[in-house]
Chains A and B, each alone.
Chain A
Amino acid sequence: MATKVVSNLKEAIELAKVTDGMSISFHHHLRNGDHVLNMVMDELAAMGVKNLTVNASAVFDVHAPLIDHIKNGVVTKLCVNYMSKGIGTHICKGIMDTPVEFRSHGQRPADIENGRTPIDVAFIAAPTSDTMGNCTGKMGKSRFGSIGYAMADAMNAKTVIVITDNLVEYPLTCASITEDYVDYVVAVDEIGDPNGIMSGTTAQTRDPVRLRMAQTAVKCIEASGLLKDGMSFQTGAGGATMAAAMYLKDVMLEKGVVGSYIVGGISTASVDLQKAGCFRALQDVQSFDLGAAADLLENPNHIEVSGRRYSSSIGKSSCMNNLDVAMLGATEIDVDFNVNVHTDSNGIIMGGSGGHTDIAEICNMAVVIAPLFRNRLPIVLDHVTTVSTKGENIDVLITESGIAVNPRRQDLKEKFIAAGLNVKDIHELKAMAEKICGVPQPAPKGDKIVGEVFGHWGEHVDYIYSVPDKE
């Protein structure tokens, strides 16, 4: 019987002929438990390959060895959709000559496909694969659920290497990525650490501020007129947005409303809503917890979608086209409703757009939920440190002390006021926070460009600058 299994990672890399200057790719469904990026980069460094572009859907603190590979010239360019603070702190010191390119989850597959960021060799971390490379994230000891972000890599890279810790007999009957895209299969002991891959269960928040914001969010959905049969919904993994899902369930059951789908990162809270009959389907590009991953395997109405189908502008449509309501987070928002999710208030990279930019661009009502201030830092500023998502695409800001509506959405503002909601001007929310916190002094900014942010259509949105060393 034919097989694509090679004896080890080194052999696969040699067969793939990875050479200086190539572009290699990774996906981040193993999150902070991922072993694959590090094992591949260590192997490449040992082989003496230099000047690589690493295109990873996200990098986390577990990928700290990447910093040495950058300093040693093994890696000279990074393309990511998200970067955690442990890595971002080093990048902001200006260790790279080429700025990091930040894309959205939708624009990454588009640029891989259209040739702007072509991939030479894709490394697919697969919790289960057969001997010909049919693989999935839905089963195996390192299961993470949806493998959606890796699909563009598999379909477009010149060479595709599947790395698995659960090699099974051909054919795997529930493959997410199929053999027609795969060149080589490598079996290793562990592709990830289950403790870092996902939380077992996501505890419901008890924080009264978050709960209050969540209740307000559901009232806004009701007042908007969008709460009706066929409504679609996107929510993140944050405490307030998860709590909003819980309150939404109560209202939908009480009113007998059946929505069409929940899309995005899918959590156990989303699964509960679907199981309760509030939504007909779940469209899952990334499963946030084990409950969601288990449901993806068992539930025919819980479907796995690629990053392209999720939110890309390159397809003929995406899950975004029919999206009514989205709950989004923000590190900062400014009086023009521009949102920062890339850098903290000191300018240090600690995140990225993920789907934020795509969702806000297309969906009918994009709602940002954020407390008036966090750790003394007001959420509303005159100018955000980094523009991740342009203000023209954000419709509503919900804080515990009031709701601000983008002046572009007078229709929503009128509906909210008619429903008796606590609508305030965004400048008023800024003033309320400053009265409690004081006016923040701007953090010092370096003069080297260390990152560039691209938007939903691939357009330039903003630059990220180095951060000067502390005195």
Chain B
Amino acid sequence: MNKIIKMAQVGNVDQNADCVIVIEPSENGNEILLESLVKAQYGDAIIASAQDELKKYDITNAKLTITDRGAIDCVLRARLEAVIKRGMGV
């Protein structure tokens, strides 16, 4: 099992079609907070991608805060991968 050991951040705050993701260690298992321009249309899909990426890296102690401005799934997953690795200290 891999651990998130520190806080990390990726992404662009002021850019449409991108997102900002903050990761930090959590004591209550994985938690995902989502704010998105397209929450009604893609909220479930974004959460599913986040859970999927956490699972891929075998992470169970991450608090993810995603502020999405309409990133397509491949962008979102690239950001997730980067933030998870940074949080793991890789």
- Give A contacts to B, CB under 8 Å: 345-346, 373-377, 436-438, 440-444
Tell me whether B70 and A436 are in contact (CB under 8 A).
Answer: no
Query: CA A377 – CA B39 in complex, angstroms?
Result: 11
Tell me whether A376 and B72 are in contact (CB under 8 A).
Answer: yes
Tell me whether A345 and B38 are in contact (CB under 8 A).
Answer: yes
Chain A residues, Cβ within 8 Å of B71: 376
Tell me whether A443 and B42 are in contact (CB under 8 A).
Answer: no
Tell me whether B70 and A444 are in contact (CB under 8 A).
Answer: no
Query: CA A439 – CA B2 in complex, angstroms?
Result: 33
Q: Nearest CB to that of A441 among chain B residues?
A: B41
A300 to chain B, nearest CB (A): 43
Q: Which among A377, A436, A442 is the interface contact of B38 at CB below 8 angstroms? A: A377
Q: Which among B17, B37, B42, B69 is the interface contact of A438 at CB below 8 angstroms? A: B42
Given contacts A375-B17, A375-B69, A377-B41, 11 further A-B contacts (CB under 8 A): A345-B38, A375-B16, A376-B72, A437-B73, A440-B41, A441-B40, A441-B42, A441-B43, A441-B44, A443-B40, A444-B40
Chain A residues, Cβ within 8 Å of B44: 441
A58 to chain B, nearest CB (A): 24
A85 to chain B, nearest CB (A): 12
Tell me whether A376 and B40 are in contact (CB under 8 A).
Answer: no
A-contacting residues, B33-52, CB 8 Å: 37-38, 40-45
Tell me whether A374 and B73 are in contact (CB under 8 A).
Answer: no
Chain A residues, Cβ within 8 Å of B43: 441
Chain A residues, Cβ within 8 Å of B17: 374-376
Tell me whether B41 and A375 are in contact (CB under 8 A).
Answer: no
Chain A residues, Cβ within 8 Å of B45: 438
The SS class assigned to the A binding surface is: loop
Query: CA A374 – CA B41 in complex, angstroms?
Result: 13
Chain A residues, Cβ within 8 Å of B42: 376, 437-438, 440-441
Query: CA A186 – CA B45 in complex, angstroms?
Result: 57
Query: CA A437 – CA B74 in complex, angstroms?
Result: 9
Q: Nearest CB to that of A444 among chain B residues?
A: B40
Tell me whether A374 and B70 are in contact (CB under 8 A).
Answer: yes
Query: CA A231 – CA B20 in complex, angstroms?
Result: 48
Chain B residues, Cβ within 8 Å of A345: 38, 40-41
Chain B residues, Cβ within 8 Å of A438: 42, 45, 73
A441 to chain B, nearest CB (A): 5
Query: CA A345 – CA B42 in complex, angstroms?
Result: 12
Name which of A345, A374, A437, A443 has the most chain B CB atoms within 10 A of its CB: A437
Report the 6 A-B pairs with minimum CB-CB distance, sorted nearest first: A375-B70, A440-B41, A443-B40, A376-B70, A376-B38, A438-B45
Query: CA A373 – CA B73 in complex, angstroms?
Result: 13
Tell me whether A436 and B72 are in contact (CB under 8 A).
Answer: yes
Tell me whether B72 and A440 are in contact (CB under 8 A).
Answer: no
With A375-B16, A376-B17 given, is the CB distance from A437 to B40 under 8 Å?
no
Q: Nearest CB to that of A376 among chain B residues?
A: B70
Query: CA A345 – CA B38 in complex, angstroms?
Result: 8
With A375-B16, A376-B17 given, is the CB distance from A443 to B70 under 8 Å?
no
Query: CA A437 – CA B16 in complex, angstroms?
Result: 14
6 contacts between A and B (CB under 8 A): A345-B41, A377-B41, A377-B70, A438-B45, A440-B42, A441-B42
A442 to chain B, nearest CB (A): 8
Chain B residues, Cβ within 8 Å of A440: 38, 41-42
Q: Nearest CB to that of B75 among chain A residues?
A: A376
Q: Nearest CB to that of B74 among chain A residues?
A: A436
Q: Nearest CB to that of B16 among chain A residues?
A: A375
Query: CA A444 – CA B40 in complex, angstroms?
Result: 8
Q: Nearest CB to that of B49 among chain A residues?
A: A438
Query: CA A437 – CA B71 in complex, angstroms?
Result: 9
A261 to chain B, nearest CB (A): 36
Query: CA A437 – CA B43 in complex, angstroms?
Result: 12
Chain B residues, Cβ within 8 Å of A373: 72
Q: Nearest CB to that of B76 among chain A residues?
A: A376
B47 to chain A, nearest CB (A): 12
Query: CA A411 – CA B25 in complex, angstroms?
Result: 62
Chain B residues, Cβ within 8 Å of A377: 38, 41, 70
A347 to chain B, nearest CB (A): 9
Name which of B37, B40, B70 has the most chain A CB atoms within 10 A of its CB: B40
Query: CA A440 – CA B45 in complex, angstroms?
Result: 9
Q: Nearest CB to that of B17 among chain A residues?
A: A375
Name which of A437, A438, A444 has the most chain B CB atoms within 10 A of its CB: A438
Q: Nearest CB to that of A433 among chain B residues?
A: B72
A216 to chain B, nearest CB (A): 21
Query: CA A376 – CA B38 in complex, angstroms?
Result: 8
Chain A residues, Cβ within 8 Å of B38: 345, 375-377, 440
